[in-house]
Amino acid sequence: MNIKSFGQHYLENEKYLLLLIVIAISLFTLLVITNKTRYLDYKIFVVIHNIIKYNDINMVKLISDLSVILGILLSSLMALYFSKKMFLKNIINIIFAYVLNFCVKICFCIPRPSWKLTSAVGYSYPSAHTMLALVVYGNIIYLTNTFIKQRVIRIIIYILSVFMIILTGLSRIYLGVHYASDVIGAYIIALIYLLGINYFYETSNNSRKIMKNNVK
C-alpha cells in the first residue's frame, strides 16, 4: 500500500469512526435531557466522595481551573515552538471548542446539580472545563506525536496529558458543579470535535497536494 492509498484509507476509517461517535453522543444526550441519568449521576458523586476524602473545596476548585489554564499555556507554547502555523491552529481549536460548548449549553439549558459544593454560573451540560481539557491536552498529544521523536519523552507526555484530562473531569464531579453525565458528554463531544478538525485538516492538505500535482 502506497502513502496516498494509506492516507485515503485512514481518512475513510476516521470518517466512519466520527459517524459512530456522533450517533453515540446523540443517544447519550437524549438520555441526559430526559433525566434518565440523574440517579446514576448522584451515585457517582457519592462514590467519588467516599473514595476521595478531601475536604478543601477551594483547593479542588483551584486545581480544576489551573488544569485547563495550564493546558492552554503548554499547548500554545509547544505549538509556537514547533511551528507558527500549528500555534494558529491551536488557538483556533481552543476558541472553536469554547464556542461549541457554549452553543450546546444554551441549546439544552440543563441546570447544574442541586448538590453542588461551590458556586458556578451557566448551564451544566456539557462541562466546559472537561471539554477544553481534552481539547488542549489532545493538542499536546498531537504535537508530541508529530514533532517529538524520543519514545520515553512521548510516553511521559501521553501519560501526564491523560492524567490531566481525567483529573479535570473528576474535579468537576467532586465539586458537584457538574453531573457525571456532563463530564462524559464533554469527553465525547470534545473527541468528536478533535476528530472532525483533524479530518478537515487532513482533507484540506490532501486537496492542496492534489491541486499542486495537477498544476505540475
Quote the pLDDT of residue 1. Answer: 42
Q: For residue 172, what are the contacts with CB-CB under 8 A and spacing of at least 6?
A: 64, 127, 129, 130, 178, 182, 183
Per-residue burial over 174-183, b = 16 or more CB atoms within 10 Å of its CB, e = otherwise: bbbbbbbbbb
* Average confidence (pLDDT) per 10 residues, the chain, 216 residues: 43 69 85 90 93 86 95 95 88 93 94 91 94 96 92 95 96 96 94 83 64 58
Q: Where are the domains of the chain?
A: 3-215
**Radius of gyration of the chain measured on its C-alpha atoms:** 19
Q: Which amino acid is at 203?
A: T
What global pTM score does this model have? 0.84
3-state SS assignment for residue 116: coil
pLDDT score of 115: 92
Quick count: other Cβ atoms within 10 Å of Cβ 196?
17
| pLDDT (0 to 100) of residue 8 | 47
According to the model, what pLDDT value does residue 4 have? 44
Rounded Cα distance, 116 and 109, in Å: 17
- Per-residue confidence (pLDDT) for residue 10, from 0 to 100: 46
Confidence at residue 34, expressed as pLDDT on a 0 to 100 scale: 87
The per-residue pLDDT for 24 is: 84
